[in-house]
Chains A and B, each alone.
Chain A
Amino acid sequence: MKFIIFAGTPGSGKTSLIKYVIQELKPDFKLFFAKFDCLRTEDEKNIAQKYGIPTVKKLAGELCPDHYTALEIPKIIQQNQDKNIILIETAGLCLRCSPYIEEGLGINVLDITSGHPNRYGPILTDADIVAVSKGDLISQAEREIFRYNILNVNPSCNIEEVNGLTGEGAIDIAQYIRNSTNIDGKKLTLKHSMPSAICGYCYGNKIISDKATHDRYTKGKELKGLIPNLNCGKCGFKSCNEFIRAVLDDKIKKEKCPFIK
């Protein structure tokens, strides 16, 4: 099984590129496509209808979408053992984060009009492939400078120019996917750690104050020690952290967690 992650800022052309890539790969492989987003998306339906491949929608809601992606990866792999290639499209909001894994292929779709590449963190610097989109909008000189700037922050990446409207470059991206290694039986590791994010605000505090944040953090930590952190979903929330927030907001009783006696 090959495991491919597409990441990039909203509007960079990830979905359009993925559609052309699916078209290229579909005749030769059994594909599965998972679309991660924050609030809403219909892309998974469109792709399932148009290309006839199984897809799933994963909405992160209150969670950091990249954390959520990492949490969901094992489930997706387990449920799709009969597939040859898993394509993941991330929500792509945070430049600091990236859910690329060492063992799979990480593709950053980078809009050439979105500013200097040194603004981006691991989403660009840890990518195996950088698919530069919208290059037809700017001069050759700037395209060459952009490429030079990408190589300054990620010297080992392969750069391909792509066009989400016409599908240019999709054949090259599909070729990288064909050549990528299989993840079967391997222990999967993140290329880059997730951002440190544990404070009262992460547990849902809304009052801007050191004390309120600290109080919320203390209560959150207490609950965190009681629950198994399995994200089993039996409480009705997709993650334990969301459950803790709801308990602290008095929206639900902590006994809803089957592991709390």
Chain B
Amino acid sequence: MIIVLAIDALEYNLVIEFNCNNLKQKFYGKTNITEFSEPRTMVLWSSFMSGRNMENEIISKGDKEMWNTQINLGDTFFKSFKNPKIIDLPGFNYYKEQHKMERIMLKKYFDTQNETEKKEIKIEYNNHAFEHHRKVKREFIEALNGPYDFVLGYFSIADVIGHLNFGNRTMMKMIYRDLDEIASGIKGNFIVLSDHGMEKVGIFGDHSNYGFWSTGFKDLDNPKITDFADIIKEIKEGRTWKKNMEQ
């Protein structure tokens, strides 16, 4: 079973600061996403699973439709597996309603000028995100015991909570530690990957311009997010991935 822990907005610096040794594994570093004009979640994960830069295709759909992106199995590297299990991955089998709700509340938060309303919205927003996180956690842990040859669990909590609460160190730390605990429960080799990281803007969080990666078995140097399709295919075939130095 090949396992990928896909954590949205997992920030390299916080993984280190919070001593998340299970997320760090043996080899870890930053991913190179400089080829993209902005670190957009949907663009990055789509490019991840297809193995090519899909930025133009995705953003040409416009902000609303972008979130409804649906990539065919045949266009992803998942197709090389007999029985893949993918959970909540943006652009593939995203829990659309759930995440749409998040965006609606986010907009409400920024649109209102009323302090009390802002507070209430934030609480609702946070609760909504945590509830989904508990659900995905259960699904993922169950999948690890399933008959799959590839499992990918996508966790959005750090990104969703981070946007409105990144300045709350206690909350962020507990989330990172929880993700670290999830990683500690995985037996065998796995990859941790994030699309981008997060940086502080006061109490809020903005996307940083690099992602995080880690493995327990191979140093990937400074991989691009589009490299992972090949990396994972070659792990499956028992070959070692060599970084493609050509452009």
A binds B: no
